[in-house]
Structure 1
């Protein structure tokens, strides 16, 4: 196993809560199972209510515990909204590349996310089931344009083939860590200079990389 993943006897430096959102049957639970346990089940049943998995890994020599929450996409479970989003620092906004409707609903899911989550949350748009390319109903360019317009990361994944699943989660977790680290540095600098204890807004520029948030900036972070 890669040394990216931490020894469970290590102290945890950070716990990051990530939420998975999107329509039912787009593969949210399969993405979670693939990342957390490297499993995939063709017989996966619909998620009822809320469940979560954890995975511990190393980022910049820090031990990060990712707590990843998964919820049913069906309307009748939407009452969990506030508690589900509370404390989340990252989100995976998932659609199925073979179901146009699941992509068309992304704007509504994003609106709900932004209505309940912290404004500095790191969001990745995920087009799942890339292994079904012959059935594609959502052009990659459509998703890229939406992601760029809404300032999101974007990546297409296949939970079945394990394509880009780990990369997608690690990109979100690394960006969260980068923001948290910057916040801590600002706080330390202000403490040393005797300045205000309130954190000022800081722009963090994501270097050009795959997946693409081309030329994106994230505003960080008000103290909570």
Structure 2
């Protein structure tokens, strides 16, 4: 059954908050546990994010679709799965959730509640990496949904993000909301405000390319009626 919009927004806020707390908190823990080994820090951060993201999607997917990502929401709306008014409401909710999650992570590790990151990431290589990371994520999600395999999305999203920490130079932010949230923590997972515009532009471009890719690869295919995770509202309206 279609969930009320207020319940969806609460789920998106909480999921985005926990996602940011997960990414930033595990980054802080990794930095403290392995201070002399950047590779080990990244391994710990990636493993925690991959596993935690899987759990968060299972938790909130049946309510809001567990987007936690404006690019996912707007591509979903472009495919007709999410009403545009809901996608527009999701955007500030996801951003607010990720900022709250950054503050929560800082507090849990007894650091300053808000500390603006000084980690600069704005290079051409990082921009290209974000295009690839975002396009791959969106293409994977909607390929699964449109081919009737949406129930596999929680594991697939976690696995993809965990892998993309390593195969992209940007460590795969792939999400405008989490990019903005990560500005508010000057820790291992942070990003300097000056680097954010490049990341946002690359993520939007990656989402647009993925939307075209799904249309080419899956023309005329409809979302599975049993899809109760990632974009459950599609299933609800189909039924």
More strand by share: 1
Q: Same fold (TM over 0.5)?
A: no
More helix by share: 2
TM-score, normalising length: structure 1 = 0.28
Structure possessing the higher relative contact order (Cα contacts under 8 Å, 6 or more residues apart): 2
